[in-house]
A = this chain, B = another copy of it.
C-alpha cells in the first residue's frame, strides 16, 4: 500500500470526508489513493482559492475539517487569501500541500520554493512529513491541530516520495480531537459581579457565540440587564431570522462603530476580542473601546463561550427564555419597475428564501444593505467575510453546500469580489450544486470610493477614480456565468429581481444546479 493510501484511510477514520483539490504531478499518488479508497469525496477546483474557500465554507457549516490537496508553493499561494479568511473564521481546515521529493528539493527545479514558508503566515500549525513512515501519524496530528482548541488552518507538507513509498499499511484509528476549553466558574462569577455593578454595560459577542445557542444565552443576559448586545462586524457564522436573538452588528466604519459602543462603562467580550477598527485612518484611534470603560474577557475563540454565556445567564438569574419579536409577514414589493438596490434584494430574499438557508456574504457595501432586512425573516446562517480578503463568496458557497446539503445556499458577491474567484462557478456546475449566486454589478470598487474620501488623500483626480472603477469595460456576468456552465440572468428592476429569484429557487428545488442572478444596481 502506498503511504498516500494509508494517509487517506487514516484521514477518513478521523472524519475527514471531502477533499477540495487542484493537484499536480507531485500529488499524483494522493490522486491515485483518493481514487482507490471509498469514503472521501474529491472535488476538483480550477483555482486553489476555490478549494481553500470551499474548505472554509464546509468547516463553518459542519464544525469539522475538509482537506485540500494543493500543488507545491505556487498552488498553495493561490489558496492563501481564502486560508486567511478561514483562519480569521477559526474554521478547522486540513491544508495538504504536495512538495517535491526530498532528494529533489535541493536541486532547485523550476517549481521549487519554500513551501513551509508559504504556509506559515496563514496557518496555525505547519508540519512537514519527513518519511513515508510518518505520513499517517502526521496526518492525525494535523487534524488534531485544526481542532485547536483555537480552531484553524493546519498545513501538512507532503513530499512526493513520502506519498509514493510503499510502507506496511499504516492506517490509524480515530484519535481524540481537542474540544473548546471550558470557561472556569471563577471567570463567569467575576463577569457576573462586574456586570451587576456596571451602569451601562455592552455584551460584545463573536465567534461561536453568534450561533443559535450562544445568541440565546447572550440574549437572556442582555434582556435581564436591559443592556446592549453587540456583535463583531464579521463573525464567521451568525444564526439569524425569526426566533433568533438579533444583536446589533458593530458598524464597519470606525466613527459609526464608536457610536455603537459609546457611553458604555463595561464591555464584556464573549468569543471575540476587544473591538478595533478595520483600517487605521490619519488622526483617528483604532481601538473602539470607549475611554474609561472596563474590559472583561469571558472567553475567546478557543473557549466554550456558549457554555460560559449560559452559565453567566444562570448566575444573573436571567429568564430561561429570551423574548423574541413576533414573526412579521414580508412586505409586498412597492413598485416593480423601480431600479434595483441592495435593500430590495434583501426584501426579495425575505419574501422567498426558505427557512434554514445559508448566505455567504462577499458583497461588502451591498451585503451591508441586505443584512438588516433578514433580521426577522426566514431562518438562515449568515457567513461573513471574516478576513477581508474578497473573493470568498462563491468558493465558500461550494463548501457550505457540501456541508449543509439540506439548505438553500446563496452566495452574495460584489462584482469586484466575484471577479477574484469566478472559477468557483465551474465547480458548482460540475457538482450540480443548487446554489444561487447573486453578483451585485455596481461596476465599481464602491467601498474604496468611500475610503479614498475618508483617508484624507485629497480630492481624487481621474487617474485615482479610474483605479476604483470597473465600468470600462463592464463585465458581462451573464456570459461569465454561462461560460462556466451556470444558468444566468440579469435583473435591472425590483420586479425583475424578485421574479429571477423565484425562478432560481424553483430551479434549485428541481435540482437543476447552480443559478446566477446579476443584480444591476
Contact = CB atoms under 8 A, between A and B. Distances in A.
Interface stretch (A19-27, A171-179, A330-338): A19-27
Contacts of A389: 74-75, 77, 111
Contacts of A213: none
A108 B109 CA distance: 37
B109 A273 contact: no
A279 B455 contact: no
Contacts of A118: 80, 118, 121
Nearest to A104: B280
Interface in A452-492: 452, 455-458, 460-464, 466-470, 472-480, 482-485
Contacts of A122: 73, 77, 113
Interface stretch (A42-50, A196-204, A401-409): A42-50
Contacts of A365: none
A108 B31 CA distance: 38
Nearest to A388: B111
Interface size range on A against B = 35 or more
A320 to B, nearest CB: 35
Given A110-B387, A466-B44, A286 B78 contact: no
A477 B85 CA distance: 30
Contact of A114 (B121, B280, B286): B121
Interface in A16-69: 21, 23-26, 28-29, 31-32, 34-36, 42, 44, 46-47, 49
B286 A103 contact: yes
A120 interface: yes
Interface stretch (A239-247, A342-350, A354-362, A418-426): A418-426
A426 B473 contact: yes
Most chain B C-beta atoms within 10 Å of own C-beta, residue among A75, A426, A467: A467
B88 A81 contact: no
B84 A81 contact: no
A178 to B, nearest CB: 22
A234 interface: yes
A119 to B, nearest CB: 10
Given A28-B452, A35-B464, A110-B278, 14 more contacts: A32-B458, A35-B462, A44-B466, A47-B419, A74-B85, A77-B389, A109-B286, A111-B389, A164-B282, A164-B457, A430-B473, A475-B483, A479-B483, A480-B484
20 contacts: A25-B278, A28-B457, A32-B464, A34-B467, A36-B458, A42-B466, A44-B467, A74-B387, A77-B80, A88-B110, A100-B279, A104-B279, A111-B279, A117-B117, A160-B279, A474-B485, A476-B483, A476-B484, A479-B482, A480-B480
